[in-house]
Each structure stands twice: as C-alpha cells, then as structure tokens.
Structure 1
C-alpha cells in the first residue's frame, strides 16, 4: 500500500491502486521505459498522481480547480516528487486546449464522468490523449451501490427512484449528477477504441461497514481490505459497488 494513503482512505483506494500499479509496471515493460508519461484528468490534489510519481513516472494533472492544483503542488513537494508532477488548469471537455493528443502512455480518469454533460465525449477525449496501446484507468460512481446505501438507510423511495432515473440519481438532493452500471461504462470505453481488460467493483463493503468497527476491532481493517480485493473482480459484486473501475488498452489505430 502506498504511504500517502492513510488507513481509512485505503478502504476507498486500495483496489484501484493495486490494479493501477500493476498496469503501470506492465506498460513500462512493454515500452522499455522506466519513466512513463501519465495524464491524470480531474486529478485534484493528487491522490493518485503523487503515488504514481513516487514510482518514478512523470504525471500531468489537469483539473479545473486552482485550489486543488495548489494542494497538488504542496502534496507533491512534501512527497519529494515535485519535479515529476505538473498541474494544469483545465477540464475533460477542453482537454486538448492544455495537453497534446497521443501524448501519454497511461491516462487516469477517476471521478470525472459523473460530472460531465456528455460522458461519451469525455471518454473519447481522454482516450485521444493516449498513445497507441496506451492504458486507460477509468473510475466512476456505480448505480447499485447508491441504491443499496439508500435502502439500508431506510430511504426506500429514494432507492427506487435511483433505479428508474436515467442518471441514477435518488432525488433533487443527490450530490452526484450521474451514476453508471458496469455495462454502461464498458460500452463507453469499448466505443472509444479501448479494449476492456478488467472491471472491478470498488468499495463493495467499505461504505456499509460501521467506521467504529474498522477503527476499534483488531485486524478489522486488514481483513476488510482483503475482502474488498477478493470481491472486486467478481461480476456478482459489480452491481452493488459504490464505484466501478475499468482498465483497458487503446487500440493501435485511433477511432475517429
């Protein structure tokens, strides 16, 4: 587990980080380069960008928030990777105003699609930033996890509303503009010229387990992390995951 990830935060990031780290290793071996060019679209303060830079890669973070980019700069400096992390103000819709097409070995798009008016365009843009055979890591909010959470909280009407809502929202007060099923995400990815390699359910149990149990029960955190990892790639749990992670490889020929 990477050092920047604190114990409670690890419950939210562990599955994605392990898969991403392995993907970076494979891509580095395939290219014959130890230092990859990585783009983190919507990377905020660097939850993934800084650990990726810690592995020796160059990371460009594109984010619309100046405050987030300031936090990124500070975090990168504290981690000793400021020379390998660059922050640029921008967003997925106007991505090529600030970065080059076909310029990156790996692109991260985590927690971005939920907030885009046109998710398909957002996926096409981040894929367009990939070099041929480059790796895409896509993380987005899962519909099933939200439905389950509302039902377990006793908000049954909201849970049912989310099931029937085209955007997967449980009501006007829902802070997440859009949620996806695993099928919807994989269709977006494959339709953009990326071959889907793996799909993981993220935070299948972590958001449902009382925090006091994890914080006070000896060994509970490690056991829960192992459970999350074991369930992540089982399709049966994708329908109840809070987030869905799709990993894929861009084809050698760009899709227009």
Structure 2
C-alpha cells in the first residue's frame, strides 16, 4: 500500500539513484577527461532526472513518446535556465533518432516494464553508448508489488504477482511486467553490458505513513539515510519497490 503524502520529497524516493549517478558521472568524467558528458534519458518524461543533470552542466537529450511530457520538460528546463533537447519517440526508435556511439550515459528508468521488447530496448541503448560508457536501469520489483497488494488486502493479487512470470497481479495491473535482480542483470549481460551491483530503491519510502514525516524536523533526512543504508542490504534490497543497477559498455 503506497503511502505518498504531499511532504514526501523527491529526494526520499530518488536518493539511492542519485548516489549511483553521482558516482558514475565522476567516473566517466575521469576516464573521458571531459567535464561535460553526453547523456540520453530514454523515457525521461518531464525531466525529473534530465533537468538536474543539465543544471550540473551536462549535455542532455530526452527521448519520450509523450508530447505533453516533452512540453513540460521544456518548461521545467526553461525555469532552471538550462537547455535539454527533447525528441519524441519510443525506446525502439533510439537507433533512428540518435547516432550510434554518441552517449556517455543513458538513463533507462521505469521503461523496461512497459516496452514490448525489454532486451531489444537495452540492445538499442547499447548501440548508443560509447565504449566504457554506462547505462542506468531502474525497474519495478515484483516482490515489493506482492507486499503492497497484500497490505491493501488484495491477497489473491499478491499471490498472482509471485506466480506470474512477468510479475503482474492481473489484467488491471498498470505495470505489464516487473524484474527481479537476476532478470535485470541477465538482460544487461545479454545486451552487452557488464552489470554492477543491484541496489534497492524505496525500501521503506512507500511503506512509511506520511504522518510520520509531517511536522517532524529532520524526519525526511533520516528516512533518506535509512534508504541509503537499506539499498545494499542483502535482504531488504529485494523488497524495494524498485531495483537499480548500472551497466558498463564492454
């Protein structure tokens, strides 16, 4: 059962991902000798990651199928005084929209769950990434979905998540498929990436009632610190709402 209140800051939900991104950005800057990196955000929507990366000084392109999202991206970038290129298209269109070997880093966040061919999408991404570059993959975790459905009293749906090969709880599930750690690393390996460690994202953030954050000074920061500590825990990682992994181009 998701507990998301108005005070639930994006930092709580994305801190673990940003920790990983800061690390890979520093690594890529060191290996390439360039402070300005070429970044593609596949399915980047309104620019939640793309605009902050542009603020850091990087050259960022967002590819997304929604014209409304791209319009919101343009507004968000303008408010921050940066430029982010927006291209309309799906993950399958990446090879047609962008040149091969043109990106140091590609973000693939909440995309593999919805594309028709997850391996095909990662293979297209691999063709964009320069040798030594990286992909950041963030995807929904079936175990967390089972927990959330059970907490909502939907016990049959919770069981379905655990038995369905795609990790779906039924026809009304808005997420067509989910991935455990082995599935994600397997896809990355097959697509030509060397996967790094898998980290859990939102281990507690979607379970903690918002009232525990409201009006409590420092509560959000404490939850972020807890999320960071839990992200690599050998048990807690696997119940996170999402799983994150970096893959390096061979």
Question: Which bin holds the TM-score, normalised by the shorter protein?
Answer: over 0.9
- Whole-angstrom distance in 2 between the partners of 1:170 and 1:230: 29
- Whole-angstrom distance in 1 between the partners of 2:36 and 2:13: 27
Query: Which residue of structure 2 aligns with residue 69 of structure 1?
Result: 70
- Whole-angstrom distance in 2 between the partners of 1:27 and 1:70: 30
Conserved 8 A contact 1:198-1:248: no
Conserved 8 A contact 1:200-1:245: yes
Give the aligned length: 244
Conserved 8 A contact 1:193-1:250: yes
Conserved 8 A contact 1:62-1:87: yes
Q: Which deviations, in whole Å up to 9, do the C-alpha atoms of 1:80-137 show, x marking residues without a partner?
A: 112xx10001111121111111110111000100001111111111111100010110
1:31 has 2:12 as partner: no
Query: Which residue of structure 2 aligns with residue 179 of structure 1?
Result: 178
1:209 has 2:205 as partner: no
Please show how residues 109-188 of structure 1 align to structure 2 within 5 Å. Answer: 109-188=108-187
Conserved 8 A contact 2:8-2:210: no
Query: Which residue of structure 1 aligns with residue 243 of structure 2?
Result: 244
Shift in Å at residue 50 of structure 1?
A: 0.5
Runs (5+) with no aligned partner, structure 1: 1-5, 252-256
| Secondary structure at 2:213 match in 1 | helix
Change (3 A) 1:26 1:93: same
| TM-score when normalising by structure 1 | 0.92
Shift in Å at residue 8 of structure 1?
A: 1.9
- Whole-angstrom distance in 1 between the partners of 2:8 and 2:210: 11
Query: Which residue of structure 1 aligns with residue 234 of structure 2?
Result: 235
Runs (5+) with no aligned partner, structure 2: 1-6
Conserved 8 A contact 2:8-2:213: no
Shift in Å at residue 48 of structure 1?
A: 0.3
- Whole-angstrom distance in 2 between the partners of 1:105 and 1:7: 32
- Whole-angstrom distance in 1 between the partners of 2:105 and 2:145: 29
Change (3 A) 1:129 1:16: same
Shift in Å at residue 7 of structure 1?
A: 5.3
| TM-score when normalising by structure 2 | 0.95
Q: Which deviations, in whole Å up to 9, do the C-alpha atoms of 1:203-255 show, x marking residues without a partner?
A: 0110001112112333221111100000112231232110010112100xxxx
Which structure has more RCO (C-alpha within 8 Å, separation ≥ 6)? 2
- Whole-angstrom distance in 2 between the partners of 1:142 and 1:247: 16
Change (3 A) 1:7 1:211: closer
| Secondary structure at 1:247 match in 2 | strand
Shift in Å at residue 47 of structure 1?
A: 0.4
Q: Alignment RMSD, CA only?
A: 1.2
